[in-house]
Structure 1
Amino acid sequence: MPQDHIGFYDPAVCSLKDFQELTTQQTSHADVPLASDVQKNVPIYAAQSLASDLAQERRRVLSEWAWVLGQGPGVFVIKGAQPNLAAIDQATETYLQIIAKEKAASGSGADHFAAAGSNDRIWNSLQKLCLTAPEVFAQYFASPMIDAACEAWLGPNYQMTAQVNLVHPGGQAQQAHRDYHLGFQTAEVSATYPAHVHDLSPLMTLQGGIAHCDVPIESGPTKLLPYSQLYRPGYAAWRREDFRADFEERYIQLPLEKGDAIFFNPALFHAAGENRSADIERMVNLLQISSAFGRAMETVDRTAMCLAVFDALKAAQMDEVSLDAVIASTAEGYSFPTNLDSDPPVGGLAPRTQQALLKEAVLSGWDKTTLATELAAMAERQKA
């Protein structure tokens, strides 16, 4: 049977040779003309110089990034994606307070693909930052570059989630893996999904990270194998020892500076690196962004977030592009699921979204009581 006609993937028949042929490709600057540099096969984009292209030729930028993530090396870096370093520092301080509070309450546990004690993790750091420090949250997510990267792979109305990972000096590396959805299933469960669902899974999420400090190589930035997302049976192969050994021989790492962002296809073979430094507490806010058409990994109370950040958004008086970026990371952007008896489409094919409601509230100068009333009414209409 031709490879393209295989209905299900079996780890036993995965070909390391085919995997190696795909992952020895080279990225040329002609492939990524908007990039300022290509390092170790990874396109590097300078946010400051790319800003005019994003404003004037947005679809050209998004198309290039979509190619990189899908057919290209599978990963790119945006230098200075969040240039507001004060907002990052304020978010860092808030996250450290949250870590201390959570450790005092329950101690620390094991992380995905890493041993317990090597790091501190904040699950749902998105909502926790928003509710704890809404003014900081508003400035932190006011990044048109991050918003554009999410839209390039997932389209509009994506669902932002985030988890902070703080890796201490001496923190051990993760094992090579793929990520959510099928990457978070056992090998046995993953094998029950048809091959075409293995193709679908990477289209449902985007992995990203915002550096909260300078991340030199010795501190263990993410280990990556460019082009490995192209190996279609990769969700069946990544647990095999020969594939993991090949990854360990050929992975690359890129240093990051505070405010840089990295984005990669969730099917890319990757793993957090070992923190070999003596004194660098490596903090990265890991973004896991989901398609409007998929299911996010974490439950997020977006109504509570809308109410928490509302006054900060009114006071910030930011430009509309930045406002849209914050709202995209805050409110629900998709109309469904809903109850079409009580929440029918008005003036279109889909009911109004929470994002549209929050934006109107900010631009029209509503008070929080009015917003709370309208959000509650929207939630009531959506109930079965």
Structure 2
Amino acid sequence: MSHKTVNHPKDNQYPLNLKLFNEFCRQKTQQNTYPLAQSISNNIPIYEGSDLRLAVDSDLTQHYKNEFSHILEAGPGVMVIKNFFDNKNDLEQMSQVFDQLLKQQGKGTGDHFAKGGANGRIWNVFEKSALYDSAAFIHYYKNPLLQMVAQSWLGPNYQVTTQLNVIYPQGKAQQPHRDFHLGFQENEEIRRYPLHMQKMSQYLTLQGGVAHVDIPLEAGPTQLLPFSHQYELGYLAWRDPDFIEYFKDHYVQLPLDKGDALFFNPALFHAGGENKTSNIDRSVNLIQVSSAFSKPMESVDLYKIIQTLYPELLALYQKDLLAGLSLDSILTASCDAYSFPTNLDTDSPIGSMAPKTVKELTHEALINKWDYSEFKDKLLAHQQKRQS
């Protein structure tokens, strides 16, 4: 019996192919593929947030999720939701929090894909805003549309991280890129991952952004290259000069109104646009949602966040102002909703296959109306028994 041998991989095992990339990017989005979309513009499906809110907690929810997941995987890889926030006061309250945090820290540094210090950047603004203003945080992140979109791509028990990005007037565009995970690695490191792992990276994260101001085309909305996520070697290609030039010749942009949201596959080639205005600070809250099976990009102290939020959560819950999907949305965003990793010696599952999560503990606390002191004690005990 003869046996086939497997060749050892070589550094040049992944030759880039711009012609194949072009074939992917020349595809067209058909309206009949996404019947729930309000329209198609520049190959990008556009949905109306008010329609989605009517569908929340109905049989239609799954139909929307099916369309979203198809867009993100087999379709153009990007979509827009108009009026993602219908209550603009919730948006404005968070904008004021962002303004105060920017004043405290300055512009920030270390933009991965633009000149450091040129733009306004708040890393981990998710945790910082929760600790700064609990009420504003709760009203912002209880939005059930965030949960609908996140679950369509990642399933339940995801983890949210966010970063504020402000491109000031006359601010230059970012370099085109792919995003976390492998979009934040150098090519030498990417080559160490087999191709199936490179492709898998896109399934671990959902990228998004919420417009906190009106963003006309001249203010530099995100530059997008629909279908570019389908090119398997894209994590090795986005730095290549030929691919950069192709992106600059073929990207599209859509204007966004305050409260609109953009969501896309992290493997999509994209870049923050050039702000050609003299009077618009192009402010976007960048949303990065990680699968329960994935390491998120930023370290977020969810124990500290939920301990800070609990008094406000309890007050809203007792007044019947927080229930159903809104309650589930804010608890998923602000708690660790996944049981692992943990210390199974001290945090053994009782009556189920997995130990109790912080989300489950917090929900139990609200139902039983634990006061802050009792919740804090049980939260600390939960944290301690999960440590090695």
Q: TM-score range by the shorter chain?
A: over 0.9
Structure 1 residue 53: deviation in Å?
2.8
Aligned length: 377
Structure 1 residue 11: deviation in Å?
8.6
Query: In the aligned structure 2, how far is the partner of 1:15 from the partner of 1:163?
Result: 33
Q: Which amino acid is 1:292 matched to?
A: A
1:120 aligns with 2:123: no
Show the 5 A alignment for 1:133-148: 133-148=133-148
1:101 aligns with 2:104: yes
Identity value in percent: 41
| Alpha-carbon contact 2:208-2:262 (below 8 Å) kept | yes
| Alpha-carbon contact 2:168-2:275 (below 8 Å) kept | yes
Show the 5 A alignment for 1:7-86: 10=12, 13-57=15-59, 58-86=61-89
1:319 aligns with 2:323: yes
| Alpha-carbon contact 2:348-2:355 (below 8 Å) kept | yes
Query: In the aligned structure 1, how far is the partner of 2:8 from the partner of 2:326?
Result: 45
Structure 1 residue 9: deviation in Å?
7.9
1:344 aligns with 2:348: yes
Structure 1 residue 112: deviation in Å?
1.3
| Alpha-carbon contact 1:120-1:165 (below 8 Å) kept | yes
Show the 5 A alignment for 1:156-175: 156-175=156-175
1:366 aligns with 2:370: yes
- 1:357 alignment counterpart: 361
Query: Which portions of structure 1, spanning 4 or more consecutive aligned residues, are displaced by more than 4 angstroms?
Result: 5-12
Query: In the aligned structure 2, how far is the partner of 1:212 from the partner of 1:315?
Result: 28
- Let me know the Cα RMSD of the aligned residues: 1.6
| Alpha-carbon contact 2:57-2:325 (below 8 Å) kept | no
| Alpha-carbon contact 1:29-1:38 (below 8 Å) kept | yes
Structure 1 residue 51: deviation in Å?
2.4
Q: Which amino acid is 2:90 matched to?
A: A
Distance 1:365 1:213, change over 3 A: same
1:186 aligns with 2:190: no
Which residues of structure 2 form unaligned runs of 5+? Answer: 1-6
Secondary structure in structure 2 of the residue aligned to 1:121:
strand
Q: Which amino acid is 2:19 matched to?
A: K
Which residues of structure 1 form unaligned runs of 5+? Answer: none
Secondary structure in structure 1 of the residue aligned to 2:338:
coil
Secondary structure in structure 1 of the residue aligned to 2:40:
strand
Secondary structure in structure 2 of the residue aligned to 1:329:
helix
Show the 5 A alignment for 1:230-309: 230-309=230-309
Q: Deviations over 1:123-174 (max 9, x none)?
A: 0010111000000001011111111111111110001000001110011100
Q: Which amino acid is 1:345 matched to?
A: P
| Alpha-carbon contact 2:336-2:358 (below 8 Å) kept | yes
Secondary structure in structure 2 of the residue aligned to 1:55:
coil
Q: Deviations over 1:41-62 (max 9, x none)?
A: 0011111122233321222211
- 2:332 alignment counterpart: 328
Query: In the aligned structure 1, how far is the partner of 2:382 from the partner of 2:11?
Result: 43
Q: Which amino acid is 1:54 matched to?
A: V
Q: Deviations over 1:63-120 (max 9, x none)?
A: 11011001100001111112121111111111111111112xxx64241110133211
Q: Which amino acid is 1:185 matched to?
A: Q
Q: Deviations over 1:339-367 (max 9, x none)?
A: 11111112211001111111222232211
Distance 1:175 1:374, change over 3 A: same
Secondary structure in structure 1 of the residue aligned to 2:210:
strand
- 2:150 alignment counterpart: 150
Greater CA drift, 197-206 or 6-15 = 6-15
Distance 1:278 1:28, change over 3 A: same
Q: Which amino acid is 1:23 matched to?
A: C
Query: In the aligned structure 1, how far is the partner of 2:118 from the partner of 2:213?
Result: 18
Query: In the aligned structure 1, how far is the partner of 2:11 from the partner of 2:78?
Result: 25
Query: In the aligned structure 2, how far is the partner of 1:325 from the partner of 1:63?
Result: 19
Query: In the aligned structure 2, how far is the partner of 1:7 from the partner of 1:199?
Result: 17
State the TM-score, normalizing by the size of structure 2. Answer: 0.94
Secondary structure in structure 1 of the residue aligned to 2:322:
coil
Q: Which amino acid is 1:194 matched to?
A: P
Query: In the aligned structure 2, how far is the partner of 1:271 from the partner of 1:354?
Result: 36
